Structure 1
């Protein structure tokens, strides 16, 4: 930013312009063209927030929520998130939903959480869309509705949300509210696995190992894919992947027999607790 532009921002902020105050707060928050200062960021955010600027209200909520230059204070975070959310601020709506869902210094209220998730999801917030999908899938807040769950999961997954991609893989692999489709499941599991989702990596290993998808009908390729995805999941501590990888090395299933490697993965699997849903 040129010096004259910076001077204009500072002048606007000092003259009480809420947008200028928010912009200056952001500059101090991120050290953009000024020396980073949480104290100065909080000052300018507060001045803007007190005038009703939703972005500043949300930013103050984040500072208190994440202990960013101030003491963590969930009640203060809740206050600012609520003010911003009521003005339609998407990220504030999502964070407020999380606070209600988890009961972070507010009364745990899943119905109110669902309300805020819905408002954020309708604005395109992927994490809110995923959470709504899960609510409809599990039927814990809304009546169980597989079609609506798939709708929200798909919206989130199309934006790259790995959790939603995993659940869509799970849904298509098991034929939940849709006909079973291994290829569609494989596509969603792969997208999530490539982002590091251990459950999806494990499920890919299972699909390839069981021969549900045969790359060019070559068993060696099948075993290689299984071992590759099991390894990725196992290295993240996924107990079932660790156990299956150990079995492959113990039995020489697509890999040379190696008792030492098998023993390593068996031992690690034994130390782990049971993992999340697999297909």
Structure 2
């Protein structure tokens, strides 16, 4: 598309005021990362890697204005229709986009068709002049129930990389981050990152954006606690009953976990760094 910028804007740290908008689904909404001062989810709001990235940015920029439009369960066409126009109106300096995962894991979905929508989104977002960062899909080899999806995810990843090259986007290659092949990175639902998984992903995003941070996203995990096959089997059965079966039921009935959920930060609001940086 002519007139679309092909290079990333300059150093984010050089700005006096930085605006950042995050788009996507549950991955970007922050499930299941609770805020450290609460055992519950205040007003249904999670923290997540995007909030953490905004906080890291606030360590280096005098004023960071941050919006997060992501809503759990959203399909890529919904993100295009509901979130992209609002992001374009805001004209931010930085936009992060993770979309298509909920489509790709559905039976019968076609990565070629999904990426057509993805490219239309990126074209509109880059036309604003914003720096745009995208994410590849996770490698599901560690998850026996979803291992069969690796081929579709890999195909979609290659398509997204081609789009990123065409429009000059930054890429966080989540597929290659082997730390996400460990149970420590995941909430017990095995569908969403743990708080530590979100923290490490935020460190990696900052590395790609050249934002100095303390901590190593690739630090080795502690060794797993020993458990016998009976305990592992019980955990698998509990997971299937509590998470896999309800997920399948929602797919069959056309419902979504995001029905009735609203964006947690629908407008650009000031984001301040936390008083003390937590490490867990």
- Give the TM-score band, short-chain normalised: under 0.3
Larger Rg: 1
TM-score (norm 2): 0.25
TM-score (norm 1): 0.25
- Structure with the bigger percentage of helix: 1
Higher relative contact order structure (alpha carbons within 8 Å, sequence separation ≥ 6): 2
- Structure with the bigger percentage of strand: 2
